[in-house]
Amino acid sequence: MAQTRFDRLRNDPRVNEARALLQAALAEHRGALPAEPQAADPSLAAGYAAMLERFASARGRGLFFPYLGSGLGNGAWVELADGSVKLDFISGIGAHPYGHGDAEVFDAALDAALGDTIMQGNLQQNPESLLFSERLVAEANRDAPGRFSHCFLTTTGAMANENAAKILFQAKAPANRALAFSHCFAGRTLGMSWVTDKPGYRVGVPKAVDVDYVPFYDPEKPESSTRHAVTVLRRHLDRYPGQHAFFIAELVQGEGGYYTGTEAFFRAIFELCRERGVAVLADEVQSFGRTESMFAFQHFGISDLIDVVTVGKLSQVCATIFRAEHNPGAGLLSQTFTGSSAALRAGDQIVRRLTDGGHFGKDGRNAAIHARFLDHLERIAAAHPEWVQGPYGVGAMIGFTPFGGDAKMAGALLRKLYDNGLLGFNAGAQPTRLRFLPPLLVVSDAEIDAAAAILERTLGEVAGA
Ligand SMILES: Cc1ncc(COP(=O)(O)O)c(C=O)c1O
């Protein structure tokens, strides 16, 4: 087969030898990491505290957790720069599905490091960008061949949504309004901070988009909550005829608290959107790869109703995937950086590992991860109903309400979990919920059991405090 000079570099025997040596060193060092929480090394404590202070000074605000990774990890286990070891079940809020120190991701990064540049974008695209774009479009088309045609890469989830919004506004100009579900999170760019339904996140930010909100599904009242949502949607559409360009929807509400709807609910909403010529934009920045299908819209069986989808986090490089009819005019989208070569190679590999590794379907690994967590959470809830309540999320997005959703107790639990060696994060408000996003490509059943044991012990400590 014809080869480029770069192919010859990649296959140079010295490169292969160095790769094998590096992989052996990584395996040895990550293998030496204990698979249980470890306290900090006292000799590193002063330097660590100083780094945290410098970080707070550099960014103008302290970090949420006093977390600075050392650079070494072993799957779900991570070493911090103070020498402590923790079980990472939040993975950067879903950004590191391979956990820490993954051999295959390391290999992808080595290939990228041999490349001529660090970043790709606008005038500097290498084949990685093409292959990843094609893979995402092919995955989006799995249940509906030919539905999606194009993919525009970018570096953040908010920017993927921003690009989607621009495409859809342009396609329906001069429409200037958007629709969204209450409590949604879409990112924090100027535009997206007006879509995100959290006034505290846009204090002092001039209005960029007019958004009308529709209440989300309530599992306690499936029919009446669906009817109510449709009524509210219809009222918005009637009040501003022809002015809505799109409905942006998280099918699993992430920051909003790990709530989800049903096919019937989403059909009722999105079919009305279609009737009124409003495009549907699925924001899958958090749900991508984590339900029982690659995309949550496939999980809910509504591929036929989605016009644009955005992905991020787990995909490493974020993207806006859209239909031919929404292909924007020249000049609307362009970016100096769309992703680093390492992120592009890793993202492509992650998506492939999800499909090849049996993560999807009713009997797939994502469903099994959920079922194992559910067993633990239901067992704890049965013994202590005031400690833990559902709903419990979907697939490898695990959520629960601790202590009736009391914000103070939930905050105390989160901090104590951190101290006890388990990383999670909060979600939603009134009630405040907790969530886990375990590194789904590598997490073992034993690690889920270990996390549940830490959680149960810590719930007891907080309840007794
Ligand atoms: C559903 C959803 N959309 C958009 C975003 C924004 O992504 P980013 O933080 O990469 O800009 C997030 C981030 O949490 C998200 O969960």
At 164, give phi and psi (nearest 5°): -60, -45
Give yes or no: residues 278 and 403 share one domain: no
pTM over 0.75: yes
Name the phi and psi angles at 288, rounded to 5.
-55, 125
Verify that 253 and 146 share a domain, yes or no: yes
Identify whether residues 350 and 311 lie together within a single domain: yes
Same domain? For 367 and 423 the reply is yes
**pLDDT tens digits for range 270-292:** 999 999 999 999 999 999 999 99
Report the amino acid identity of residue 137: V
Mean pLDDT score, 378-389: 98
Helix or strand or coil: residue 266?
helix
Whether 449 is covered by a domain: the verdict is: yes
Domain end (from 316, 341, 356): 356
Cα of 238 vs centre of ligand 1, distance in Å, is 30
Domain count across the chain: 2
- Cα 30 to ligand 1 centroid, rounded to whole Å: 30
Q: Is residue 101 part of a domain?
A: no
Give the mean pLDDT of the chain. 98
From the CB of 186, is ligand 1 less than 6 Å away?
Answer: yes
Each residue's pLDDT tens digit, 184-197: 999 999 999 999 99
Percent of the chain at pLDDT > 70 equals 100
402 lines ligand 1 (CB under 6 A): no
Q: pLDDT at residue 32 above 90?
A: yes
| Cα-based distances in Å from 348 to 104, 113, 224, 295, 318 | 12, 16, 42, 15, 12
Please check whether residues 75 and 145 belong to one and the same domain. no
Query: What pLDDT score was predicted for residue 1?
Result: 81
**238: CATH:** 3.40.640.10
CB 94 less than 6 A from any atom of ligand 1 = no
CA–CA separation, 178 and 362 (whole Å): 34
Cα 355 to Cα 349, 365, 382: the distances in Å are 10, 11, 35
Cross-strand pairs, 119: 340
Where among 356, 386, 414 does a domain terminate?
356
Q: Do 281 and 205 share a structural domain?
A: yes
Beta bridge partners of 167: none
pLDDT of residue 465: 78
In the chain the first and final C-alpha atoms are separated, in Å, by 68
Please identify, by atom number, the ligand 1 atom nearest to the C-alpha of residue 254. Answer: 16
* Final residue in a domain of this structure, among 328, 356, 384: 356
Residue 377 included in any domain: yes
Flag whether 141 is in a domain: yes
CATH classification of the domain holding 434:
3.90.1150.10
C-beta of 283 in contact with ligand 1 (< 6 A): yes
Q: What single string gives the DSSP state of each residue in 163-204? A: HHHHHHHHHTTT--EEEEETT----SSTTHHHHSS-GGGGTT
For 441, the enclosing helix (H) or strand (E) is: none
Do 190 and 265 lie in a common domain?
Answer: yes
Rg (CA), the chain: 23
Residues 335, 369 within the same domain: no
Distances (CA, A) of 292 to 67, 301, 371, 442: 31, 11, 12, 17
Give the pLDDT of residue 11: 95
The answer to whether the CB of 191 is under 6 A from ligand 1 is: no
pLDDT digit string, tens, across residues 353-383? 999 999 999 999 999 999 999 999 999 999 9
pLDDT digits (tens, 9 = 90+) for 97-128: 999 999 999 999 999 999 999 999 999 999 99
Work out the burial of residue 10: count CB atoms within 10 Å of its CB; fewer than 13 is exposed, 13-18 middle, 19 or more buried. middle
Domain of 220? 114-356
Confirm whether 108 is domain-assigned.
no
Summarize pLDDT for 13-28 with one digit per residue, the tens.
Answer: 999 999 999 999 999 9
The answer to whether residue 20 is domain-embedded is no
